[in-house]
Structures are given as structure tokens and as C-alpha cells.
Amino acid sequence: GSEGWTEGKVTVNDSLGALGRTVGQLYSQEKNSEMAHVLYNDQQPPEEFGGTGGDNGESHGGHTKGVVLLDKNQGFWLVHSTPHFPPEQQGGQYYYPSSGVNNGQNFICVTYPLDRFQTIGEQLQINQPNVYNCDVPESLASLVPALATLCSKNRQHGRISPHMRAESNRSVTLTSKDGTDFISFAKGASFDDDLYHSWVAPTLQSDLLVQFWVRSTGILPSDCSRGWKVLDITLINPGQTFTFKATQDHSKWAVSPKAASRGAKGGWVCVGDINRNEAEERRGGGTVCLQDPVVWKAYRTAALECEACGGGTTEC
């Protein structure tokens, strides 16, 4: 009955949960010459929680949030939706913000071999992230120059130069350490269009149901033009536990309405950091997609009601 969802043993803000144990590795040692990290968030942590303070409103760079942590063998790339997270490494302690508890959030964390992180760094350059904390030691800089560049730009002016990569957008296949293929979609400000309808749906050759933060201005309505149906989710129930509205969910994910079958290109799930609104058409960010029947069923059954094209509500 849980459709593939498992209830966590602890809450999301517990340092012993999956998120806490994964990101917490960053704080468990002093500066390590064998490990590199890059923390980026358009809403960086406030000063009292190991942030550098300053403007905690939206940054002008990408609307993009994540953590990269790697050593000379492997690492993980976490893409998420939580503002003010995680704290800077120098703060010395894992902390999950109370503001990230009230609404739904999402996280996709994948372990990749070292040789994927140059490509991940290039994707991040397209995203134009607000990098607020990073360290790429010399021993790793030559292996992941794109991450080293992100980090050095951050040190120079705390802001990514908007001209670091010429591409307005790029999708790449990233194969995880255990051999699972993920597709990373990264767009920059110059892309100037909706991530999901103009790019992800036609690339995956799949209609999409999209969950995103709707308590914002300039929300893009469901769009059935140009051969693809991209519907805004309005009501959610993960794992048949409890039902809540999209207005209570800050996460950003998309799921194919139909399963993968021969000849049909369904069965996709994408988790990312971009909303469907006008302002974010002109900001960097992206999503990471995979085609897995168990993950697809979990997300597909979570989407109950959607906005129909032309208005009104329909069963997703």
C-alpha cells in the first residue's frame, strides 16, 4: 500500500537520518586535503547557522540548490529544494533549518565515480549557482577543473561570472557508481523558457506532471501546446499516508503520466530545483531524471489532482 515509499525512522532535521548522515560527513573532519566540496544555494544559510550572512534574499544567479562532496575515488551530488541549507563547513556542525520542515522538500542524492565530476562541474557552470562555501584542494583541482573554477570564482567575488560557459542549456547522461543512468538537465539564464515544457518533455518524449512551489508570482499554467502535456500538480499523497495541497510543497519534481512500455517513452521521474514560473525561465537551474519502475510508481501514485489545460481541476 505504500507504493514504494518508506517512512523515515527519524524526521528530516535529525542528524541521524539519511540526509544528516550523508551531508554530515562534511562536518566530521577538519579541512581535508583529500576531499573537495561545493555548497550552493540561491538562499544561503543565515549567519547564525554558519553562513556568511549578507543578502539572504534571492540571489541573482541560478535558482539552484545543491551539495557536491568528493574524494579521489568517488563522491555524491545532492540536488535539493531547501533554502538556507546546508551550513558552511567551517561552522563545524550539521544543521537542518526549521524553515525547511513546514513545507514539503525533495532531495536526489547519487554517488558517482570521480570521472563524472568534471561533467557535473560543467553542468553547474551552466546553472550559474550562488556558491557560498567550497574547497577544491590542489590534489583534486587538476582532476575536476570545472569545480575548481566554480570555487575560485566564488572566492574572487562571491558570485559566478555569468559568462563562464557559453551554452544556454545542456543535457548529459551521468552513470552512477552502481551503473544506473541519470540524465542531468542544466539551463542558464539565457535559456529564457520553461524547463519542463520546452525542453525536458520533448527530450524525454514524455508528457509530464510537475510539482513545484506555487505560492509565487507569474506561475505558468498547465500547457498542452506543441504536442506535449505538462500539467501542474495540485494535490499530492506520497505512499497513501496523508494528502496535502501543492501550496504546502516546496519540492520540484516531475513524473511521466504513463509507465515505460515498448515504444512508449514514459516511466520517467525528475527531481530538481526549478519552478514553473516566469521569473525562473530567466534563471539557471535544472533537474536530474531517471527511468526506474519502482521510483516511477512511487511518484506517479503520489500525484492525485492536476490543473487541466485551460483551467479547472482534473485527476492526474
Catalytic residues: 250
Task: For 307, list phi and psi in degrees, rounded to 5.
Answer: -80, 130
Which residue, among 293, 256, 96, has the nearest Cα to 180 in the 3D structure?
293
Q: Which cell goes with 229? A: 502535456
- Which one-letter amino acid corresponds to residue 290? L
Task: For 146, list phi and psi in degrees, rounded to 5.
Answer: -65, -40
**∠ CA 156-161-162, rounded to 5°:** 170
Could you give the residue ranges of the DSSP H alpha helices within 114-191? 117-127, 138-141, 145-157
Q: Which cell goes with 161? A: 561570472
Which residue, among 288, 280, 287, has the nearest Cα to 61 in the 3D structure?
280
Q: Which cell goes with 106? A: 525533495
Report the DSSP pairing between strands 244-245 and 253-255.
Answer: unpaired
Rounded CA separation 82/29 (Å): 24
Could you give the residue ranges of the DSSP H alpha helices within the chain? 18-24, 117-127, 138-141, 145-157, 195, 201-204, 278-281, 293-302
**∠ CA 267-272-278, rounded to 5°:** 110
Answer yes or no: are the C-beta atoms of 231 and 310 closer than 8 Å.
no
b/e string for 197-217 if b means 16 or more Cβ within 10 A? bbbbbeebebbbbbbbbbeee
